[in-house]
């Protein structure tokens, strides 16, 4: 299951991603955690110290390796140079799984020990000014998008992505890659305005979106969120002393997180799991192609000097059967 946490800066994306990852780890599920946020803090939120976090290999620096692994022997993709972030998998491509060992995990993932067991952590690497705005070609999240486009994930295995609600993810189609998107919103007008923008994009592509309230103090906060987002409000987290202690560098054991927040995490887990039955690999594949054609026409063809539309394998549909067959 692919799950994204998005929202406005400072809303608590990283905090709630990290709590959800801890919750999944305790449940015994295999987890790949990905930091694709502008502010790279997921490692710290998962308990790494500054040195450990700084030593995490950046996916953005290993694009050539990632592309070469994924394109495998796909005859439609002549080289890593002609593979852009939206290039879809086809016959001959290497698909990736959550649990397997592979060259991408070897190069980009590091195990992080949590109370409940270890998860794999991957990070895009720090964003610079050049990453924000128009620089599609250099996009840091391109590595994550390629990974997700080639990923075949089953029930009870999870990829959790901490990311922004920025224009980068809308331009590329990254926002359509998830079984469930949790939009973290504080009970403020700005928090809710990000939700409205996201909702518009989401509606056009059938993206499952739920609002997760954060730093909610009482009934008035909850009423505010409910009046603004209606039934899209899934659950709300309160101010957490456990999180505060973590921030002070004194991480308590996860079981000591407030019971109400544990309950909220279970609600997130159930909401994500419920999406498995609604999966549509055919639609997922067609959306990959849609965004590839869009990016090819707007900058990719010119940039690579080839007709990128020819990379689309019309017969290919991603899914658990095709992954089992290779």
Ligand X SMILES: Nc1ncnc2c1ncn2[C@@H]1O[C@H](COP(=O)(O)OP(=O)(O)OP(=O)(O)O)[C@@H](O)[C@H]1O
As measured in angstroms, the least distance from the Cβ of 112 to ligand X is: 17
DSSP state of 60: G
User: Positive or negative CA dihedral for 7, 12, 18, 23?
Assistant: negative
Give me the 64-83 binding string for Mg ion, x by CB under 5 A, dash otherwise: --------------------
Taking CB under 5 A as the binding criterion, the range among 36-44, 262-270, 273-281, 313-321 that sits at the site for Mg ion is: 36-44
79 binds, among Mg ion, ligand X, none (CB under 5 to 8 A by kind): none
Task: List for the chain the helix, strand, coil content (%; round to 5).
Answer: 50, 15, 35
Counting other chains too, the contacts that 272-277 makes at CB distance below 8 Å and 24 or more residues apart are: 272/1, 272/3, 272/158, 272/179, 272/180, 273/1, 273/155, 275/1, 275/179, 275/180, 275/208, 276/1, 276/155, 276/179
- Which one, 81 or 247, has the nearer CB to ligand X? 247
As measured in angstroms, the least distance from the Cβ of 82 to ligand X is: 33
As measured in angstroms, the least distance from the Cβ of 324 to Mg ion is: 36
Taking Cα atoms as reference points, which of 301, 307, 287 lies closest to residue 149? 287
User: Positive or negative CA dihedral for 137, 67, 1, 253?
Assistant: negative
Spatial CB neighbours of 312, under 8 Å, sequence gap ≥ 6? 76, 88, 90, 289, 292, 293
Q: Which two tokens stand for residue 45?
A: 């939120």
As measured in angstroms, the least distance from the Cβ of 320 to ligand X is: 32
| Binding-site size, Mg ion (CB under 5 A) | 5
**Which residue number is nearest to Mg ion in terms of Cβ?**
14
- Which one, 98 or 185, has the nearer CB to ligand X? 185
Cβ atoms 172, 143 nearer than 8 A: no
- Which one, 11 or 285, has the nearer CB to ligand X? 11
Judged by CB under 5 A, the chain residues 139 through 198 that form the site for Mg ion are none
Q: Which two tokens stand for residue 245?
A: 């202690």
DSSP state of 163: E
| Euclidean distance between CA atoms 173 and 156, whole angstroms | 24
- Which one, 10 or 117, has the nearer CB to ligand X? 10
Taking Cα atoms as reference points, which of 232, 283, 238, 276 lies closest to residue 257? 238
10 binds, among ligand X, Mg ion, none (CB under 5 to 8 A by kind): ligand X
Instruction: Tell me: does residue 37 bind Mg ion (CB under 5 A).
Output: yes
- Which one, 41 or 150, has the nearer CB to Mg ion? 41
As measured in angstroms, the least distance from the Cβ of 133 to ligand X is: 17
Considering only residues 4, 12, 14, 127, which one is a binding residue for Mg ion as defined by CB under 5 A?
14
49 burial via Cβ count (<10 Å: 0-12, 13-18, 19+):
exposed
As measured in angstroms, the least distance from the Cβ of 16 to ligand X is: 7
Q: Which residues bind ligand X (CB under 6 A)?
A: 7, 9-15, 37, 39, 41, 214-215, 237, 239-240, 243-244, 247
Neighbouring C-beta atoms of residue 175, cutoff 10 Å: 23
- Which one, 84 or 268, has the nearer CB to Mg ion? 268
- Which one, 27 or 39, has the nearer CB to ligand X? 39
186 binds, among ligand X, Mg ion, none (CB under 5 to 8 A by kind): none
**Residues of this chain that bind Mg ion (CB under 5 A):** 13-14, 37, 39, 41
């Amino acid at each position: 299951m692919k799950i994204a946490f998005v929202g406005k800066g400072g809303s608590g994306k990283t905090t709630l991603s990290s709590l959800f990852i801890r919750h999944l780890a305790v449940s015994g599920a295999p987890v790949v955690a990905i930091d694709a946020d502008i502010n790279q803090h997921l490692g710290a939120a998962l308990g790494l110290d500054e040195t450990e976090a700084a030593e995490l290999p950046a996916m953005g620096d290993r694009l050539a390796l990632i592309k070469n692994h994924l394109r495998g022997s796909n005859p439609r993709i002549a080289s890593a140079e002609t593979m852009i972030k939206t290039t879809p998998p086809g016959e001959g491509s290497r698909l990736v799984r959550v649990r397997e060992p592979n060259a991408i995990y070897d190069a980009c993932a590091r195990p992080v020990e949590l109370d409940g067991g270890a998860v794999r952590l991957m990070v895009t690497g720090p964003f610079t000014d050049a990453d924000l705005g128009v620089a599609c070609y250099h996009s840091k999240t391109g590595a994550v998008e390629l990974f997700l486009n080639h990923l075949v994930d089953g029930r009870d295995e999870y990829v959790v992505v901490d990311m922004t609600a920025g224009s980068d993810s809308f331009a590329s189609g990254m926002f359509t890659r998830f079984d469930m998107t949790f939009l973290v919103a504080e009970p403020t007008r700005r928090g809710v305005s990000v939700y409205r923008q996201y909702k518009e994009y989401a509606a056009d592509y059938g993206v499952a979106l739920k609002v997760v309230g954060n730093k909610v103090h009482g009934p008035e906060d909850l009423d505010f969120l409910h009046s603004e987002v209606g039934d899209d409000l899934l659950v709300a987290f309160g101010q957490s002393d456990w999180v505060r202690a973590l921030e002070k560098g004194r991480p308590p054991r996860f079981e000591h997180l407030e019971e109400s927040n544990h309950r909220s995490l279970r609600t997130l887990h159930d909401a994500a799991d419920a999406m498995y039955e609604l999966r549509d690999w055919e639609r997922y594949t067609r959306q990959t192609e849609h965004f590839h054609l869009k990016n090819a026409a707007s900058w990719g063809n010119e940039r690579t000097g080839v007709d990128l539309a020819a990379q689309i394998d019309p017969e290919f549909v991603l899914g658990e059967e095709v992954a089992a067959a290779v």
